[in-house]
């Protein structure tokens, strides 16, 4: 077989494996799915093919994540560049929410990436991969700097706690919408873009919420300076 044809066939096989793995991991959880099941769902007779193309399960998870982060991070870079220097909380929250939601809107129905991401987040080791690839983005650091500049007097521990709340909603609002679309169930908003608008509203409220500090909470401020 000529080298070009072999490369094309390899690429097609890799894509089929990534599609099958993303769906199976989303439906059943990463640890509940074997390489054999992925290979079978990808229509591959040789179950060693998954290991051959992707190495460990962590490598496979990273390859799935990377199929999506390119488009998301390019959009985020563009938006962050546009709002640089803004002291409007909403600008920075748009940068946080919209690139991901817009990407989800391009995937069609059913999609699996939101549910795949939620499954990955439940595992400490695999979560690090998502953190590296998504949350470790230099643009995300600039968004956090932007939020800090808008909220200079928010205690650091409260800032972190609200970052955790934002992360929960950035994972689970898309999961719920993706699942509803896949099941043909009603959704609260018509489009991914409108859903992003609703979530940005909510996150403005989260960041501007009242602050009741509790004794220990303040002492943990030193954890991450």
Cis check for the bond before 110: say yes or no (omega within 30 of 0). yes
Q: Please state the separation of Cα 176 from the chain's center in Å.
A: 14
* Contact (Cβ atoms closer than 8 angstroms) between residue 104 and residue 110: no
Residue 177 CB, shortest distance to a second copy, in Å, is 10
Phi, psi of 208 (to 5 degrees): -95, 5
Does 31 engage in binding with a second copy (CB under 8 A)?
yes
Binding test (CB under 8 A) with a second copy, winner from 54, 92, 116, 207: 207
Q: C-alpha distances in angstroms, 26 versus 49, 91, 117, 153, 198?
A: 21, 31, 8, 40, 25
Residue 192 CB, shortest distance to a second copy, in Å, is 11
Binding mask 149-188 for a second copy (x = CB under 8 A): --------xx-xxx-xx--xx-xxx--x--x---x--x-x
Residues 6 or more apart in contact with residue 26 via CB below 8 angstroms: 112, 113, 115, 116, 119
Residue 5 CB, shortest distance to a second copy, in Å, is 40
User: Applying CB under 8 A, which part among 37-45, 63-71, 77-85, 202-210 lies near a second copy?
Assistant: 202-210
Tell which positions 92-151 bind a second copy, by CB under 8 A. Answer: 122, 124
Closest residue by Cα to residue 58 from 19, 31, 39, 24? 31
Does 4 engage in binding with a second copy (CB under 8 A)?
no
* Contact (Cβ atoms closer than 8 angstroms) between residue 127 and residue 65: no
d(CA 57, CA 173): 26
Binding test (CB under 8 A) with a second copy, winner from 1, 205, 222, 225: 205
Q: Please state the separation of Cα 33 from the chain's center in Å.
A: 20
Size of the site for a second copy (CB under 8 A): 48
Tell me how crowded residue 108 is: count the other CB atoms within 10 A of its CB. 8
Residue 120 CB, shortest distance to a second copy, in Å, is 14
Binding test (CB under 8 A) with a second copy, winner from 10, 11, 56, 220: 220
Tell which positions 35-94 bind a second copy, by CB under 8 A. Answer: none
Helix or strand holding residue 138 (H, E): helix 138-150
Residue 9 CB, shortest distance to a second copy, in Å, is 34
Binding test (CB under 8 A) with a second copy, winner from 152, 215, 222, 225: 215
Sites of contact with a second copy (CB under 8 A): 28-29, 31-32, 122, 124, 157-158, 160-162, 164-165, 168-169, 171-173, 176, 179, 183, 186, 188-191, 194, 197-198, 200-212, 214-217, 220, 223
């Amino acid at each position: 077989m000529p080298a070009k044809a072999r490369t094309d066939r390899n690429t097609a096989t890799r894509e089929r494996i990534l599609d099958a793995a993303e769906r199976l991991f989303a439906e059943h959880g990463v640890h509940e799915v074997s390489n054999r099941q992925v290979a079978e769902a990808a229509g591959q007779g040789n179950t060693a093919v998954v290991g051959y193309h992707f190495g460990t399960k962590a490598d496979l998870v990273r390859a799935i994540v990377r199929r999506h982060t390119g488009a998301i991070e390019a959009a985020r870079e563009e938006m962050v560049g546009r709002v640089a220097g803004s002291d409007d909380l909403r600008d920075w929250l748009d940068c946080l929410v919209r690139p991901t939601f817009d990407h989800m809107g391009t995937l069609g129905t059913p999609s699996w990436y939101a549910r795949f991401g939620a499954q990955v987040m439940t595992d400490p080791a695999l979560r690090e991969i998502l953190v590296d690839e998504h949350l470790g983005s230099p643009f995300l650091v600039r968004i956090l700097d932007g939020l800090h500049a808008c909220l200079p007097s928010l205690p650091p521990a409260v800032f972190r706690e609200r970052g955790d709340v934002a992360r929960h909603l950035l994972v689970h609002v898309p999961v719920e919408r993706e699942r509803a679309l896949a099941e043909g169930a009603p959704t609260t908003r018509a489009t991914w873009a409108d859903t992003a608008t609703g979530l940005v509203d909510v996150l403005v409220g989260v960041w501007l919420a009242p602050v009741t500090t509790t004794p220990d909470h303040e002492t943990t401020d030193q954890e991450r300076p």
